[in-house]
Amino acid sequence: MGKKVTVVGAGFYGSTTAQRLAEYDFFETVVLTDIIEGKPEGLALDLNQSRPIEGFETKVVGVTTGANGEGYEAIEGSDVVVVTAGLPRKPGMSRMDLLEVNARIVRGVAENIAKYAPSAVVIVVSNPLDEMTALTQLATGFPRNRVLGQAGVLDTARFTNNVAEELGVPVGSVKTLTLGSHGDTMVPVPSQCTVDGQPLTGALSPEKIEELVVRTRNGGAEVVALLKTGSAYYAPSAAAARMARAVAQDSGEVWPVCAWVDGEYGISGVYLGVLAELGATGVRRVVETPLTDTELASLKEAAEAVRAKQADVASM
């Protein structure tokens, strides 16, 4: 049977994610929902009209959902649901400033997913990411492997782009890695970074690497400051769509994602950015990678920072 994916929230992030998912021409159906009457239907119609030009058959279905869950029947049978509903940052705001307002939105969305798509794998992108992922797992009651968050694919892509631009080399020759939270305690991992298979540490000075690490950590804020309204969506949607496809194809690809950590790196009981193997069950397993003592200490620090915040969302 053909695969079905739902994207909740038809703003910039959600609509570009739906577009990428449809253009893969792998899914049978992409459902796009929003609470703004007509917006998801209009975007779906527009996307469907692009099919003869772009040459894909995936059908996009737009649905306006109501305050009491009206319209959510459309997500029934979804293999994957991507949650993008919620406010984005404005210049000067941290992702944490969105906590309360987005917790209300995401909890409601999660309850409807549990009711109408109880077998789905849920990929959360709404910010603050680590907390919204934890909240979605609590509100759906889904097994922890079936709820994950998107941050590391994006942060790693930003790191790679920064390194490639600095060295004037193709992005394809650079491999980087970021772990930890999608925020101030993001943990870029220079020891795992390479350029043409050679250690990054041999290509750039420690000061230059640190400068690129700081730019990566502030990558989202840099875009927000330039846009002045709203936040990034091209790279973020590429990240979420690739994760959704990996799940739907049961591909076993290993990506940095926000996943439940249970003993790996000596850390337990928290949603944290780690490498994970993705498949039809969501996170098949967390993949441990060698870290330097400093990187491991930063990862543990990140775990404690997000653990405290994730405990707060339980009551939101």
Ligand X SMILES: NC(=O)c1ccc[n+]([C@@H]2O[C@H](COP(=O)([O-])OP(=O)(O)OC[C@H]3O[C@@H](n4cnc5c(N)ncnc54)[C@H](O)[C@@H]3O)[C@@H](O)[C@H]2O)c1
Cα dihedral sign, 82-89-41-52:
negative
Work out which of 30, 34, 63, 279 binds ligand X, going by CB under 6 A.
34
Instruction: Return the number of the residue (208 or 230) whose C-beta is nearest ligand X.
Output: 230
CB-CB contact of 51 with 26 (8 Å): no
As annotated, the active-site residues are 182
Q: Closer CB to ligand X, residue 253 or residue 296? A: 253
Choose, by CB under 6 A, the member of 71, 88, 190, 282 that binds ligand X: 88
List the one residue from 3, 20, 89, 217 that touches ligand X (CB under 6 A): 89
- Residue 102 touches ligand X, criterion: CB under 6 A: yes
Q: Does 113 bind ligand X (CB under 6 A)?
A: no
| Region for 4 from its dihedrals, namely left if φ exceeds 0, alpha if ψ lies in -120 to 50, beta otherwise | beta
As a whole number of angstroms, the distance between CA 76 and CA 59 comes to: 15
CA distance linking residue 71 with residue 33, whole number of Å: 9
Q: How far is the CB of 39 from ligand X (least distance, A)?
A: 6
Candidate residues 2, 25, 28, 36; the one interacting with ligand X per rule CB under 6 A: 36
Q: Pick out residues in 251-290 that bind ligand X (CB under 6 A).
A: none
Token pair, residue 12, equals: 């910039």
Contact by Cβ (8 Å): 21, 3: no
Residue 136 lies near ligand X (rule: CB under 6 A): no
Choose the binding region for ligand X from 68-76, 207-215, 226-234, 298-306 (rule: CB under 6 A).
226-234
Distance in angstroms (rounded) separating the CA atoms of residues 30 and 10? 12
Instruction: Give the C-alpha separation, 154 to 176, whole Å.
Output: 11
Return d(Cα 75, Cα 280) in angstroms, integer: 17
Q: How far is the CB of 5 from ligand X (least distance, A)?
A: 15
CA 208 centroid distance within chain: 28
Q: Which of 144, 303, 120, 100 is nearest to 134 (CA)?
A: 144
Q: Is 230 in the site for ligand X (CB under 6 A)?
A: yes
Cβ 237 to ligand X shortest distance, Å:
8
* Residue from 87, 164, 280, 316 in contact with ligand X (CB under 6 A): 87
C-alpha triplet 163, 158, 257: angle, nearest 5°: 125
Nearer to ligand X, 29 or 150 (CB): 150
Q: Pairing between strand 186-188 and 178-180?
A: antiparallel
Residue 182 as a binder of ligand X (CB under 6 A): the answer is yes
Per CB under 6 A, the list member of 6, 33, 136, 176 interacting with ligand X is 33
By CB under 6 A, tell whether 72 contacts ligand X. Answer: no
47 binds ligand X (CB under 6 A): no
* Residue range at the interface with ligand X (CB under 6 A); choices 43-51, 123-131, 244-252, 264-272: 123-131
- Token digits of residue 84: 């993008």
Q: Is 216 in the site for ligand X (CB under 6 A)?
A: no
Q: How many residues does the chain have?
A: 316
Contact positions vs ligand X (CB under 6 A) = 8-14, 33-36, 65, 84-89, 98, 102, 105, 108-109, 125-127, 129, 150-151, 154, 182, 230-233, 236
